[in-house]
Amino acid sequence: MPNAISRRELLASIGASGLLLPRTASAFTVSAPVAPVVIARCKTYEPSELTPVLDGMFDKLGGLGKLVQGKTVAIKLNFNGGPTVRLGHLPLGDTHWPNPNLLAAAMHLMARAGARRIRLVEGAAAPRTDPFEEHMLDANWDPQQFLRAAPRVEFENTNYTNAAKKFTRLSVPHGGLLFPAYDVNHSYADCDVFVSIAKYKDHPTTGVSTVMKNLFGLTPLTAYGNGAGKWEDNDLVYGNDRIQIMHRGSRQPSMGALPEIDPKSPRDDGYRVPRAIADLTAARPVHLAIMDGVKTMAGAQTPDPRCTPIEPGVLIIGTNVVNTAAVAIAAMNYDPRAPKGTVPFERCDNKLLLAEQLGVGSADPAAIEVIGPSIREVMFDFRALREKRRAQQGNGPGGRGRPQN
């Protein structure tokens, strides 16, 4: 059958043509599951407010115990940008990193629910011999806060192979959209429960950054970063982003990671990065997604002069990462099903719909049970801020701002 086309090739070609992303699941998609998403108001990061609110949210989700009791939990942080870059004077946890008090509260509740071990994981742009805790201290976080939150806490910089001595290969079910598999630190495989915690905010490359975009950071810089192939031996840092390999596709990964499926596919980050994120959500299922919208920022993923600090005063959690991201994006006054070329996906494919097609979860808020205040009640108008930025600068997310990792 010389004219035969695989399902993967068909998906890729449809996506490249802009025809992808129907409003309802197509014949090519796998059934997209739905699970409840819990919304709660939370005005501050004071533990006296935060912990009971989060505790109540977990209860509404069915209880933490059945998820974490006796389990090893890996929590993927969302440390984008350098640890010493702030939006104005604001601590990173008030703008673009998840707040440390929220993280500690979640860890405390997990420990109380019987979690056996909690491992904080992130690909920190730091040399191999720098303890991950030192990266936190550089940001003026106190690692002791997390060590006190649960009895057995570990830290792992997932840019390196560390004790495992090699990366673990996560294959993408149904073949993958960009790569057939991704080589990652063992902690992403050696866990019973995988948690993604992140702020919701704008993103120049993929429109929005949420618990889904956080998974882009699973890819170790030693294999997928600009310095891939130079790191492991010399113990130095060469850049902290994945622009060359993941965004632009100007070279293939290092350290034995598999090359991409189609080297002739578009070398456009608006095509590539959403597909990598969708792949990773399928390859490494998230058991618990925690969206930090108490305080965050609009305008970009990492601070720059376009950004505005904001305080939506909201937490959103769910057990399905796409469902949770869809609800959060709707709460940003964006359409999580918007096609490429429209707000907030002006110049990129919609990663939620791509993940939906891979069967990870539904991106349709109307299909998702929301527990707590309605989306409308907690909505913060990122869209209006976006339009205001565009009017002022002509270069907000959706324009051709600097690529952000």
Task: Please answer whether residues 286 and 322 qualify as being in contact, where contact means their C-beta atoms are separated by less than 8 angstroms.
Answer: no
Of 44, 370, 325, nearest to 207 (Cα)?
A: 325
Candidates 66-74, 130-138, 152-160, 316-324; binding stretch for another protein (CB under 8 A) = 130-138
- In the shown chain, the binding pattern of residues 96 to 125 toward another protein, with x for contact by CB under 8 A and - for none, equals ------------------------------
Task: Out of 18, 62, 63, 131, name the contact with another protein by CB under 8 A.
Answer: 131
H/E element holding 102?
A: helix 100-112
- Minimum Å gap between C-beta 318 and another protein is 31
- Applying CB under 8 A, does 305 fall inside the site for another protein? yes
Q: Is 3 in the site for another protein (CB under 8 A)?
A: no
- To the nearest whole angstrom, how small is the minimum distance from the Cβ of residue 116 to another protein? 25
Rounded Cα gap, residues 269 and 259, in angstroms: 17
Site for another protein contains 243 (CB under 8 A)? no
Q: Which CB, 237 or 245, lies closer to another protein?
A: 237
Nearer Cβ to another protein (86/116) = 86
In the complex, what is the shortest distance from the CB of residue 85 to another protein, in angstroms, rounded to a whole number?
Answer: 6
Q: How many residues bind another protein (CB under 8 A)?
A: 24
Residue with smaller CB distance to another protein, 239 or 403:
239
When asked if residue 46 is in the footprint of another protein (CB under 8 A), the reply is no
Site track for another protein across 182-221, x = CB under 8 A: ----------------------------------------
85 lines the binding site for another protein (CB under 8 A): yes
Which residue in this structure is represented by tokens 């099903």? 337
C-alpha span between 205 and 345 (Å, rounded): 9
**Cα dihedral sign, 249-252-255-258:** positive
Q: Assess 154 for contact with another protein (CB under 8 A).
A: no
142 near another protein (CB under 8 A): yes
**Interaction of residue 235 with another protein, rule CB under 8 A:** yes
Is 48 a binding residue for another protein by CB under 8 A? The answer is no
Q: Which residues contact 205 (CB under 8 A, 6 or more apart)?
A: 247, 269, 270, 273, 348, 403, 404
Of 262, 244, 178, 286, the C-alpha closest to 405 is 244
CB 96 within 8 A of CB 297: yes
Q: Which of 88, 256, 259, 285 binds another protein (CB under 8 A)?
A: 88
CB atoms within 10 A of CB 317: 28
Q: Which ranges of 187-239 does DSSP label H, i.e. alpha helix? A: 221-224, 231-234
Q: Stretches 128-136, 178-186, 324-332, 365-373: which one binds another protein (CB under 8 A)?
A: 128-136
Binding segment for another protein (CB under 8 A), chosen from 1-9, 84-92, 167-175, 354-362, is 84-92
Distance between CA atoms of residues 324 and 345, nearest Å = 18
Figure out which of the listed residues 6, 26, 140, 392 binds another protein, where binding follows CB under 8 A.
Answer: 140
Burial of 277 per CB tally in 10 Å (0-12, 13-18, 19+) = buried
Residue among 368, 294, 366, 242 nearest 41 (CA): 294
Q: Is 238 in the site for another protein (CB under 8 A)?
A: yes
Nearer to another protein, 176 or 204 (CB): 204
Closest CB 121 distance from another protein, rounded Å: 20
Between 298 and 329, CB nearer to another protein: 298
**For 313, left (φ over 0), alpha (ψ -120 to 50), or beta?**
left
Check: CB of residue 7 under 8 Å from CB of residue 174: yes
Produce one character per residue of 249-260: b if its CB has 16 or more CB atoms within 10 Å, e if not. beeebbbebeeb
Distance CA 348, CA 340 (A): 6
Q: Does 9 bind another protein (CB under 8 A)?
A: no
Closest CA to 353 of 15, 5, 6, 4: 15
* 237 forms part of the interface with another protein (CB under 8 A): yes
Which of 138/268 has CB closer to another protein? 138
Closest CB to another protein among 10 and 236? Answer: 236
Instruction: Give me the residues that bind another protein (CB under 8 A), please.
Output: 84-86, 88-89, 91, 127, 129-131, 133-134, 137-138, 140-142, 235-239, 304-305
